[in-house]
Amino acid sequence: MGFIDEIKAKAKANLKTIVLPETEDIRTYKAAETVLKEGTARLILIGSKAEIAEKSAGFDISGAQIIDPVQCDKLDGYVEKLFELRQSKGLTKEQAEELLRTDYTTFGVMMVKSGDADGMVSGACHSTAEVLRPCLQILKTKPGTKLVSSFFVMVVPDCDMGEDGVFVFTDCGLEQNPDAEKLANIAVSAAESFASLVGKTPRVAMLSHSSKGSAKHADVDKVVAATRMAQELAPEVSIDGELQLDAAIVASVGAAKAPDSEVAGRANVLVFPDLDAGNIGYKLVERLAKAEAYGPLTQGIAAPVNDLSRGCSPEDIVGVVAITAVQAQAE
């Protein structure tokens, strides 16, 4: 059974309610039909019932709950709660109501905040900033977590590296140029994400263009410091660095470049030093190795909300819904 099949089986075992706010996009309806048919989640679609009926023609979404913010009997409560959360930032009650009536992403986040949904998936036609801004403003960070970051689950076909071809890559979508402390926190969060979703023991490599002092540069120093901090934050997790990519995942290279490392040559969680490296890295693997790339998924938010690539397929949405449901189970 492949990774996503295992995730779907977990999702089916304990159904969660996931919000899909992007009802302007036909991919949402195709994905919703598949999710409902496979039984991996309960779904809420946000929007005008008339518009959804028109746009979803040809798709069976009869099992989904449709909520129109304008007619929702919980709108006043959501307005009050959003006003309380954001009035110190200058948001008026009138602005809160207008936002909830017109911005379906914000409305979906408020549903999650209020416990009326377990998670949300968005981003097929919105930027990462548009998806995550209301999440950070309303849901905020998970207790014990200092920052929100992103990761991809990469499933590489015919690969004996990582966890039989399964890796977590981080951060590939959010933190532009994290300092050592942020990088350490990203590494610890990624280890937790790997354990939660893959169900295996994480082995975390802090990536660099240097392996164990082979190069001298401030960028290397950052990764060395981040490795030390991450090891202090999570001494029970196998974390090592700085490691070049081949030293991290190829057994023979790891043995040569870092012979005393528990991680070198066996890493299944790859922590990139900055967003440029992470974004380029996951896209190279996705395109050249024909890997499945699930994400960008978020870690560190107080409830599971996941972003989608704007180039995603309906099948990508189906997979991310299942992953979000499993994350909600862990919550």
What are the pLDDT digits (tens) for 27-69?
999 999 999 999 999 999 999 999 999 999 999 999 999 999 9
Cα dist from 196 to 15, 139, 203, 270, 330, whole Å = 17, 21, 14, 16, 7
Q: What φ, ψ does residue 175 adopt, rounded to 5°?
A: -80, 110
Q: Is the dihedral of CA 132, 136, 141, 145 positive or negative?
A: positive
Question: Which tens digits make up the pLDDT trace of 221-258?
Answer: 999 999 999 999 999 999 998 999 999 999 999 999 99
* Residue 113 C-alpha from the chain's centroid: 18
Residue type present at position 268: N
- Asked if 188 and 237 count as a contact pair (C-beta separation under 8 A), the reply is yes
pLDDT score, position 311: 81
Tallying the residues shown for the chain, one arrives at 331
Could you say which residues of the chain have pLDDT below 50? none
Residue type present at position 280: I
pTM of the entire structure? 0.86
Instruction: Tell me the C-alpha distance between 103 and 265, whole Å.
Output: 46
pLDDT score, position 155: 94
pLDDT score, position 144: 79
- Asked if 271 and 281 count as a contact pair (C-beta separation under 8 A), the reply is no
* Residue 277 C-alpha from the chain's centroid: 18
DSSP assignment letter at 115: T
> Residue-wise over 41-61: b if at least 16 C-beta within 10 A, else e?
bbbbbbbeeeebeebbeebeb
Q: Where are the beta strands (DSSP E) in 125-268?
A: 149-155, 166-170, 203-207, 238-243
283-287 — which CB contacts under 8 Å span 24+ positions? 285/154, 285/156, 285/169, 286/154
Angle separating helix axes 93-102 and 104-113, nearest 10 degrees: 110
